[in-house]
Amino acid sequence: MDFVYSLQDVIRCYLCDTPQPSKHCDLCHVHVCNVCEEKHLSDVSKEHYIVPFEMRGSTSKCSDHSPKICKLYCEYCDVPICAECVSSTEHEQHRKSPILESLLRKKKMIQIDLEELEELIYPKYKEAASNISVHIADVKENSQKLKICLNNKAQTLHSEIDTIIEKMQSDIDDTHSKHLALIQKRENFINDRIKSISQEILRVRKLLDANDILLVSKYISINHLHKTQSIKLQATLPRFTPTKNDGYHISKQIGSLSKIERTWLPISTAFLDEPRILAEINIRGRGLYNPVSSISCQSGSEFWTCQNDNKIKLYNIKGDLVKSVKTKSTNMPHDIAVARNGDIVYTAFSDKSINLVSGSQIQTLITLRGWTPLSMCSSVSGDLLVTMKSDGFGEIKVVRYSGSTEKQSIQWDDHETI
């Protein structure tokens, strides 16, 4: 009986009943085989759009010219477009690709993110969660060892030491409880993140299974939010250092407790123990005297570059040019960085400016006087760190900006050197 039902479930060509047809008409919602494809298209009474069977359901109507069908994808605007969109001036100079090709490329990006979530990010958070109990045991063991050391020292001294010993034991307990509270707080944070990542995996899996180009094209990776979190504990626990009985005050004869030292390592640091090569990309046709001068990652599969010209270019991991943006001046940008919201920031020698590229719009954030901007980066907090040199004396400093507002300037150390 089960065998009969399984035979009824086989997908067949609606014209010739051939099992497992390789094509699908996304407008008629029928399956067709290779032999019957031409026959189906011969029905001119209605519109057809044949796609590979596994891409069925990927066709979408144009948001601007409904019910026109989108068969192309504008790489610059990041939207599906129809034939009427193509004929308009809005997308005239933009790079376009077949919508099925774009969908496959987008899903490949999502697949990369899913693999990173499942194979790297999630296991690291699980590992960090499992190590919490080890850290707690180490803290407890260390605290007990410290108390034993103190008690051994106390046995060699008189009753005057008792008050000091009690005070130091209290300090140990206080440090112990505060450190445990901090670790347990971090444990809660990590467990919350694990739940969040699990939900993200489900969301990304659902996107990966979807063939809706409008839904898939709106996907924005948030993996970097998990990778930049500090989750790996590196702590130097307190030590007891006894002093020699050399006649100093009794408190100095007992010794002292060192302060606890903690370092929370971000998850990205944990990933870099053994770097792996994802791709080797050759940006061709740029010439011997036009090398890539700066590079900044947009996502796990796209990156921005600048060269000895007035363009900032976005490439995918295959080395294909996705987008190109001209700078405000004719001179080349010196350095580029990707802000946390995905916008591009670049420095320009020609007018000593720091500029923001958002979509196709370019805005000058900062114009310096007496200083020329050099390299820069975007910090975890979203601030910009910019190195710059003075025009007159060649001094160097680092300035932190929040938007266009200067928050911090770093130039001199304690010895008044650059």
pLDDT in tens, 36-46: 888 888 887 78
Mean pLDDT of 254-276: 65
How high is the pLDDT of residue 6? 43
Which of 5-9, 101-105, 325-329, 384-388 is modeled with the greatest confidence? 384-388
Topology of domain 2-101, CATH: Double Stranded RNA Binding Domain (3.30.160)
pLDDT of 102 higher than 70: yes
Mean pLDDT of 67-78: 78
How high is the pLDDT of residue 198? 93
How high is the pLDDT of residue 339? 84
Q: What phi, psi does 16 have (nearest 5°)?
A: -115, 0
Alpha carbons within 13 angstroms on the beta-carbon side of residue 168 total: 27
How high is the pLDDT of residue 417? 44
Weakest-pLDDT range from 28-32, 247-251, 316-320: 247-251
pLDDT of 252 higher than 70: no
pLDDT in tens, 189-243: 889 989 999 999 998 998 888 888 888 888 888 888 887 777 777 778 888 887 6
CATH number, span 294-410: 2.130.10.10
pLDDT in tens, 371-408: 989 998 888 777 889 999 988 777 889 999 988 888 88
State how far the Cα of 64 lies from the Cα of 344, in Å rounded to an integer.
28
Residue length, the chain?
A: 418
Nearest CA among 378, 357, 354, 374 for reference residue 366: 354
State how far the Cα of 84 lies from the Cα of 86, in Å rounded to an integer.
5
pLDDT of 264 higher than 80: no
Query: 2-101 and 294-410 share one CATH topology?
Result: no
Nearest CA among 143, 145, 165, 144 for reference residue 154: 165
How high is the pLDDT of residue 46? 81
Indicate yes or no: pTM above 0.85.
Answer: no
Mean pLDDT of 287-300: 72
pLDDT of 245 higher than 60: no
pLDDT of 289 higher than 80: no
The domain segmentation of the chain, as residue ranges, is 2-101, 122-271, 294-410
pLDDT in tens, 153-198: 777 766 676 777 788 888 889 989 988 898 888 889 889 989 999 9
